[in-house]
């Protein structure tokens, strides 16, 4: 802190300033996409761009065009894209015919994922090419634009911690959905749909637990974890930190499982596959 103000961190420094601080600029071949790297460096960004593009396209089509089969067996199993099915949960029936629950709740997972620290890396690299990749030259225009962190329009990313709180509420409702898949007309049991939704909830839980803002929530404001509630916070912080290093893994697997779960529900609802179940009593 300086005069009660946080230090301004220089994002872009001149070559001279960097040299004085002991940094060396590595020689970089000029020209978009030019590099001396000999590996297939474009594989990862291309794959990420394709996966994100497909996810956005699929969600749009499913929510607006193909929203007829969002659950089966009288709401026993609901598609992860439309879960929590708030219209059904809160018995809201006087809504326009074109409206569905996804239209009301998707802004939360979108807002949470869209402001995710890992997601920022993904879209800066894949869509903005800023940077293109390590040791790969970016488009000329981006040399002028540069990367300036959470400024300008990107200041919206600062809502991430609040999106986390909302995401935790959504996550807890997803566990309600899992339990609901175990209710068979007054009896308890489980089916393949139970495991599909449980796996989706587990992966989402790991994605939330490994979140940087979640980690900060429990350890960010404490100097020490000694005794009482602070030792519990310390344990959660350390647990979160352990999984934080795999945050990218939880990001992609949890995202993929939302779509796998949706395709599963759609296929059962349309009679293409069945949902084998085991009912007790």
- Tell me which residues touch ligand FES (CB under 6 A): 116-118, 160, 211-213, 247
| Residue 1: both structure tokens together | 């802190």
Q: Specify the residue, 75 or 124, whose C-beta has the smaller distance to ligand FES.
A: 124
Q: Specify the residue, 172 or 231, whose C-beta has the smaller distance to ligand FES.
A: 172
Write the CA distances from 183 to 52, 74, 84, 166, 268, integer angstroms: 35, 11, 17, 27, 17
Helix (H) or strand (E) holding 140: helix 140-145
What's the min distance (Å) between Cβ of 243 and ligand FES? 11
Q: Specify the residue, 123 or 184, whose C-beta has the smaller distance to ligand FES.
A: 123
Does residue 79 contact residue 261 with C-beta atoms inside 8 Å? Answer: yes
Q: Which of 155, 260, 123 is nearest to 204 (CA)?
A: 260
Would you give the DSSP letter of residue 66? S
What's the min distance (Å) between Cβ of 258 and ligand FES? 14
| Whole-angstrom distance, CA of residue 253 vs CA of residue 202 | 10
Q: Specify the residue, 192 or 236, whose C-beta has the smaller distance to ligand FES.
A: 236
Does residue 138 contact residue 132 with C-beta atoms inside 8 Å? Answer: yes
| Residue 238: both structure tokens together | 């350390």
What's the min distance (Å) between Cβ of 218 and ligand FES? 13
Q: Specify the residue, 138 or 212, whose C-beta has the smaller distance to ligand FES.
A: 212
What's the min distance (Å) between Cβ of 220 and ligand FES? 13
What's the min distance (Å) between Cβ of 197 and ligand FES? 21
């Amino acid at each position: 802190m300086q005069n009660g103000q946080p230090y301004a961190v220089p994002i872009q420094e001149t070559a001279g300033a960097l040299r004085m601080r002991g940094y060396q600029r590595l020689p970089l071949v000029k020209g978009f996409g030019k590099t001396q790297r000999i590996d297939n460096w474009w594989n990862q960004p291309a794959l990420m761009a394709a996966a994100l593009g497909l996810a956005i396209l699929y969600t749009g089509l499913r929510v607006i065009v193909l929203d007829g089969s969002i659950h089966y067996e009288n709401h026993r199993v609901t598609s992860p894209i439309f879960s929590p099915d708030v219209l059904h949960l809160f018995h809201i029936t006087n809504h326009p015919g074109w409206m569905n629950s996804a239209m009301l709740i998707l802004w939360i997972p979108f807002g949470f994922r869209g402001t995710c620290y890992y997601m920022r890396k993904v879209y800066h690299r894949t869509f903005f090419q800023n940077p293109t990749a390590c040791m790969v030259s970016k488009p000329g225009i981006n040399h002028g634009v540069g990367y300036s962190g959470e400024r300008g329009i990107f200041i919206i990313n600062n809502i991430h911690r609040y999106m986390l709180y909302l995401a935790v509420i959504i996550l807890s409702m997803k566990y309600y959905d899992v339990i609901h898949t175990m209710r068979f007309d007054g009896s308890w049991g489980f089916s393949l749909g139970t495991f599909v939704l449980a796996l989706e909830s587990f992966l989402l839980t790991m994605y939330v637990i490994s979140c940087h803002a979640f980690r900060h929530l429990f350890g960010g404001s404490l100097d020490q974890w000694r005794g009482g509630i602070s030792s519990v916070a310390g344990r959660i912080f350390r647990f979160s930190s352990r999984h934080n290093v795999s945050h990218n893994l939880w990001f992609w697997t949890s995202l993929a499982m939302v779509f796998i779960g949706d395709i599963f529900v759609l296929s059962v609802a349309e009679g293409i596959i069945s949902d084998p179940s085991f009912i007790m009593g």
